[in-house]
Amino acid sequence: MLRPLFPRASRALRIASIPTQSRLALPWQGAARSYSVQAQAASSAKPLGLDASKLSIEKTKSPGSLGKPEELVFGRKFTDHMLTIEWNEREGWLAPRIIPYQNLSLDPATCVFHYAFECFEGLKAYKDQSGNIRLFRPDRNMARLNKSAARIALPTFEPTALIELIARLVRLDERFIPEARGYSLYLRPTMIGTQKTLGVGPPGSALLYVIASPVGPYYPTGFKAISLEATDYAVRAWPGGVGDKKLGANYAPCIVPQLQAASRGHQQNLWLFGEEEYVTEVGTMNMFAAVRDRATGQKELVTAPLDGTILEGVTRDSVLSLAREKLVPEGWKVSERKYTMQKLDEASQEGRLIEAFGTGTAAVVSPVRSIAWKGKTVTCGLAETEESGEIATRMKGWIEGRQYGDEEHEWSCVVA
């Protein structure tokens, strides 16, 4: 059963031809105004009128091609078009535009370059076996983008309008969605502050844009379990900080610990928190562990709670929901609670650590073989010949089943 989630987009589209000479003067050049914004004015900014029906589309004159899907590398190739929507404090959201993929032209004083006024999302469009295009839980990404934007004084928007606009972009560039299982079109909604003054204050103008990148399976030849290094010298997030928001600010500081881990042969680092060494996240993924209770033998799938230091991952939520739906009836306990590296190590030593995996949009699930911690190697339940545990394998299957529409489910939205 196909559900037309975006009826307006399918009938209300107006094609506006943009004159050639306007290409050099990009739309947001004019919007980056040259005066400082007063705090009071910006703080009263409301999500004014992101109106999908005002969309104009300028098609590229030099269409590209998908090329060989098997040569795709994550986030390197982009489709022909991009969606751009300008906002300014005075007018609110201006008319959305789909235009040829092109550079942004920004004043070097623009606040995104200096004060990291930037947040983003990552979601995917899939082609199902009937040729329909599907988005996976886009409402979740929209809600999170609004939370991220609000936390750094960028404007919020009407979620359904942006989903509708994204659907238009995806439909226009649909030939960039490879058809094979495991392939998809990665979508990157991004919002940046565009005010071009150096005073530190709320941006008086912003640009919301969406680019799209065809991507292949994260594990083209099947799972490959990764080895982690627990990071004890750097801290990703803090209560009262912004670690639960998808801000650019949370990413650049992650690279050096990642490089440090890589220099010692580990694929990712594992973020611990506090003297207790609570397990929080894996690189840029959420972390799950499946453990057996020492006393009762009760099997438990555990992940850190949303206490402000954990990114509210959409895949994390999907894994939790699926675990409650399918594993609890099998006798599993599913917990969002704090757990320490010490406890994980004890479980490992006592043979009670069944498996561990990271979750995220890029890989769906990423099985963990071992964690280097305090000079020792904490093994995570996999036999030497295994690349994934049973839970990770089943989760990937269940989630992809819904992503690709094998199982009709409310998480998957067909693009009309």
The values of phi and psi at residue 360, to 5°, are -175, 170
Give CA separation, 183 vs 108, 217, 218, 259, in Å.
Answer: 37, 5, 9, 28
Shortest Cβ 317–its own copies spacing (Å): 21
| CA-based R_g, the chain, Å | 22
Q: Between 197 and 303, name the residue whose CB sits nearer to its own copies.
A: 197
Q: Between 33 and 333, name the residue whose CB sits nearer to its own copies.
A: 33
Q: Spell out the residues 6+ positions from residue 93 whose beta carbon is closer than 8 angstroms to its own.
A: 47, 48, 49, 50, 51, 85, 86, 87, 155, 157
Q: Between 16 and 259, name the residue whose CB sits nearer to its own copies.
A: 259
Shortest Cβ 218–its own copies spacing (Å): 12
Q: Between 207 and 327, name the residue whose CB sits nearer to its own copies.
A: 207
HSE on the CB side for 148, CA within 13 Å?
30
Burial class (CB in 10 A: 0-12, 13-18, 19+), 22: exposed
CA distance 247 to 193: 12
Shortest Cβ 78–its own copies spacing (Å): 6
Q: Between 95 and 153, name the residue whose CB sits nearer to its own copies.
A: 153
Q: Between 132 and 340, name the residue whose CB sits nearer to its own copies.
A: 340
Pairing of strands 226-231, 364-373: parallel
Shortest Cβ 211–its own copies spacing (Å): 5
CA distance 23 to 260: 43
Whether the Cβ atoms of residue 370 and residue 344 lie closer than 8 Å to each other:
no
Shortest Cβ 86–its own copies spacing (Å): 14
Q: Between 12 and 242, name the residue whose CB sits nearer to its own copies.
A: 242
Q: Between 267 and 318, name the residue whose CB sits nearer to its own copies.
A: 267
Shortest Cβ 360–its own copies spacing (Å): 11
Pairing of strands 56-57, 184-193: unpaired
CA distance 72 to 34: 41
CA distance 207 to 32: 9
CA of residue 139 relative to chain centroid, distance: 12
Shortest Cβ 344–its own copies spacing (Å): 20
Shortest Cβ 37–its own copies spacing (Å): 10
